Every structure is written in C-alpha cells, then in structure tokens.
C-alpha cells in the first residue's frame, strides 16, 4: 500500500513505481520487462474507480520460487541452471502459464510474463490466475537426454508449488508436448498417482486436447475477423502480412487464407517473402519443411527485414517475438489493423504512435488467448476424464474469443480508449473485484 488509507472510504491509492513500491529484488535502474507491465498498470489505474485501492496487488507477484537445477551432462560433468516459477496472482483461481527454456530468461521477464497471464486469463474470463516459469538455458546446445533430466529435476523443484488445483504449467518458447509429458510423469511419480491435469499442452495420447495445436492461431483469426467487421473491412481478399511462421503465425495465416483472405508477406527468422498475387500458406509450410527456409518460395520475391514493415497490407500479424513494432518502424506500417499473435510485440511508444495514426491493435492479451483457452479445456477434460471432439472444442473456443472481443470492444467505445487499455480495464477490474470480495487474509 502506498499511503495510509481508510479501508472504509476505499480511497483510490496513488500508485508509485519508485521508492518502497518496487521490490528490492528488482534493480530500479534496469527493471527489465516487468517495467512495461508496471507502466500498463499505471495507465489503467485511473479507470479502476474504488478498486484502485487494491492496485498494489497487481504490481507484486504473489509468490516467486527460484530454484537451482543441477543435472549430469552426457560428458559426465555436472551443470547447474537457474530456474524460476512465478505465481503472479491467484485471486480468481489457480495460477496458469507456460514454461520457457531460453538462455536470456530473467526473473523480471518471468514476472512480466506471469503478470500478462493474469491479465489474459481475466480478459477472456478463464477461472485462472497468472503464472509463468523458465529455465536459463539454450536448449539447442543440449541432448534430448540432458533436456529430459533438466525438465524432470526442474519439475521436482517447483513441485512444491505446482499441482492441478494450484498452478498448471504449459509449453512456451522452446518447450513442447514432449516436455509436458516429462513434467506430467515426474509430478505423477512424486505424488504417487497419474495426475494428467498438472500441465496442459500434453500429447493427445496422454490427456492432451484436440485443437490445441492451432488454438492460438485460431483465436488470432476469430478476433481479427471480428475486428475487420467492426472496422467495416471485408475479410474476403483482406491483405495480410505475418511475422513469424511457427505455431501461431502458420496457423493464423492458414486459417485466414482458408477464409478467403490473401497472405501478401511472410517473415520468419530465415527471411521475408512477398507476393502481390498472394502466398498459399499450405505451400509455404511445405516449402519451409522441405528446405528449412521461407525464402526461395516459388512465385514470391524476397524483401529485406526492414522492408517487411512497409508492405502494403490491411492486417499485420506479429507472431514471432516481443518488441518488434517500435517507435522506429511504427510510422511505416500501412495496415489499418494489427492483431498481436506474439506476446508483447509492440512497445508502449509504438502503441502511442499507432493510436495517433488511427491503427487498431487487437492486443496480445486478447488475440493470442486461444492457446490458454484450449489449455483450460484440456484441464477440464482431464478432471472429468471425458474428451470432446475437435468440432466441440473449436465451437467453444470461437464463442469465448468472439464474446471476449465484443465485450472489450464495448468497453473501448464506452471509455474512448484503445482495445489494449479496455482489456486491462476489464481484466484488472475482474482480478481486483475478486481480491476485494475475498478480503485481506487474515
């Protein structure tokens, strides 16, 4: 709490980022990605009314676990890795969020990602709080056996705080269904029973859900199509540029294409391809699988990385990494609509520029929530041991994404704010309402 307040009066607190409100484990001179999240909370605070009394809750993760993960390497030596699990908030339900293996993972990054999961789960009204985990490792440098030992030791270390009713991890960058199978097995061995619901994103043969693979891209499509409709732009023939052609970008491009939109440019880590006539993403995926590169695709011309941002298109889908749309390139973007498949692809400065230019942004916490929504379905199916058809899953996913979009659009219109601020207003209100109703223990 930042000041002395009378809880009966519920006077809104004045949020401060400096001084004692910043935890000692963050460096005030280099807060890292968590600073972006704190700024987003600052922006939404004036819209929270009396609930702003509880806003400090949003700025501090509920629980942080830092673990040492030692493993035997194949060469007989022992290596130690830094692992994290952060439970940002559990006011509305168990923590939920992925686990990332990356050499640059930091506590601040995991804190930010866990906080964005709190916002995302609340924005689409899933009964979860937010969590995230990570291990500081470059997985490309290690064998499958080493990664299995790493995953199992990490799971045991964070086993203190995870569980089907407490905190449910899922895949994120450089983790996949196999990683989840190892996590599920390790947790199950430790508790003495098969606990499929401890993680989501598992293989379908092990309690995973149909439809999970395309779920995030599908959510990008559903929210993107709704946004086009609101903007009075036809879906048929809409010109789409996609950055990232992995799980999210590939599925989004494919589903837009299959609904009559035209993919005019694709960029991935290997290069950028462009075609006025349109790129068939099915063909592009086959080409990528065959050659390992997106470039060289028949019927396309190659662009430089920078030229991608100036491509003539109606919709831009960043689906690769964070901080891709910056103050430097935001002015060149010709799309009227940006649908954020990736987490955090737009910097706050770029966000302001886009708003001034009248570009509509469907924010990550809404646009890419399809993945966690089907993870929620997986968790529910695991609890009941009753599995749904892919059609049922897609119909439920489409309904949740559409209703979430329309609800946030109404809030955007009501307050005259961006969709991102609307998402934060709705999400923070839901989280803080739960906090206020539950009260402060003891």
Ligand X SMILES: NC(=O)c1ccc[n+]([C@@H]2O[C@H](COP(=O)([O-])OP(=O)(O)OC[C@H]3O[C@@H](n4cnc5c(N)ncnc54)[C@H](O)[C@@H]3O)[C@@H](O)[C@H]2O)c1
Phi/psi at 300 (5° precision): -120, 155
At residue 130's C-alpha, the angle toward residues 4 and 128, to 5°, is: 105
Q: Are 74 and 145 in contact (CB under 8 A)?
A: yes
CB of 230 to ligand X, least distance (A): 23
3-state SS, residue 303: strand
CB of 266 to ligand X, least distance (A): 9
At residue 28's C-alpha, the angle toward residues 43 and 423, to 5°, is: 20
CB of 170 to ligand X, least distance (A): 8
User: Which residue among the candidates 96, 132, 202, 412 is catalytic per the annotation?
Assistant: 132
Strands of the 130-135 sheet, one edge to the other = 63-72, 78-89, 130-135, 95-101, 167-171
CB of 438 to ligand X, least distance (A): 28
87/324 with CB nearer ligand X: 324
61/98 with CB nearer ligand X: 98
CB of 243 to ligand X, least distance (A): 5
Q: Would you state the structure tokens that stand for residue 314, as one six-digit string?
A: 């109606």
71/86 with CB nearer ligand X: 86
Q: Are 56 and 437 in contact (CB under 8 A)?
A: no
Site residues for ligand X per CB under 6 A: 172-173, 216, 243-249, 267-269, 319-321, 341-343, 368, 371
Q: What is the dihedral of CA 247, 116, 345, 367, to 10 degrees?
A: 60
267/346 with CB nearer ligand X: 267
196/267 with CB nearer ligand X: 267
CB of 75 to ligand X, least distance (A): 28
Residue nearest to ligand X (CB): 246
Q: From CA 302, how far away is CA 120, in angstroms rounded?
A: 36
H helices present in 60-106, as ranges? none
148/268 with CB nearer ligand X: 268
Q: Specify whether 132 is catalytic.
A: yes
Strands 315-318 and 301-303 turn out to be unpaired
269/327 with CB nearer ligand X: 269
Strands 63-72 and 78-89 turn out to be antiparallel
CB count within 10 Å of CB 311 equals: 20
CB of 424 to ligand X, least distance (A): 17
Helices H / strands E in the chain, number of each = 13, 12
Strands of the 271-279 sheet, one edge to the other = 301-303, 271-279, 262-268, 239-243, 315-318, 337-339, 360-362
At residue 23's C-alpha, the angle toward residues 19 and 26, to 5°, is: 105
> Which residues belong to the active site?
132
């Amino acid at each position: 709490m930042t000041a002395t307040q009378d809880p009966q009066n519920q006077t809104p607190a004045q949020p401060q980022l400096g001084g004692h409100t910043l935890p000692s484990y963050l460096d005030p001179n280099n807060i890292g990605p968590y600073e972006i999240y704190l700024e987003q909370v600052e922006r939404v605070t004036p819209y929270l009314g009396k609930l702003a009394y509880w806003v400090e809750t949003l700025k501090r993760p509920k629980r942080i676990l830092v673990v040492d993960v030692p493993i035997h390497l194949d060469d007989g030596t022992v290596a130690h890795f830094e692992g994290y699990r952060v439970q940002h908030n559990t006011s509305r339900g168990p923590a939920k969020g992925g686990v990332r293996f990356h050499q640059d993972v930091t506590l601040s990054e995991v804190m930010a990602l866990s906080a964005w999961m709190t916002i995302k789960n609340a924005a689409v009204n899933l009964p979860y709080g937010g969590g995230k985990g990570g291990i500081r490792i470059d997985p490309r440098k290690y064998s499958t056996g080493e990664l299995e030992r790493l995953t199992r030791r990490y799971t045991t270390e964070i086993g203190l705080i995870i569980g089907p009713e407490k905190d449910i991890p899922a895949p994120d960058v450089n983790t996949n269904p196999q990683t989840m199978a190892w996590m599920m097995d390790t947790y199950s061995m430790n508790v003495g029973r098969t606990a499929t619901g401890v993680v989501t994103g598992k293989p379908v043969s092990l309690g995973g859900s149909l439809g999970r693979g395309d779920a995030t891209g599908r959510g990008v499509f559903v929210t993107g199509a709704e946004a086009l409709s609101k903007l009075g732009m036809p879906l048929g023939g809409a010109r789409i540029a996609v950055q990232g052609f992995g799980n999210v970008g590939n599925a989004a491009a494919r589903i837009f294409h299959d609904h009559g939109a035209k993919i005019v440019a694709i960029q991935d880590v290997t290069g950028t391809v462009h075609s006025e006539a349109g790129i068939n993403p099915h063909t592009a995926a086959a080409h990528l699988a065959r050659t390992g590169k997106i470039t060289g695709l028949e019927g396309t011309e190659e662009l430089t990385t920078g030229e991608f941002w100036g491509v003539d298109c109606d919709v831009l889908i960043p689906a690769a990494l964070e901080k891709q749309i910056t103050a430097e390139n935001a002015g060149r973007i010709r799309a009227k609509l940006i649908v954020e498949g990736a987490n955090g692809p737009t910097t706050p400065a770029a966000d302001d520029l886009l708003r001034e230019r009248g570009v509509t942004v469907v924010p990550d916490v809404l646009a890419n929530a399809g993945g966690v929504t089907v993870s929620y379905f997986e968790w529910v199916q695991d609890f009941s041991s009753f599995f749904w058809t892919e059609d049922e899953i897609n119909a439920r996913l489409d309904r949740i994404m559409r209703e979430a979009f329309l609800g946030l659009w109404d809030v955007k219109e009501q307050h005259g704010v961006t969709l991102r601020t609307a998402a934060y207003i709705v999400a923070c209100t839901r989280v803080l309402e739960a906090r206020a109703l539950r009260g402060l223990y003891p």
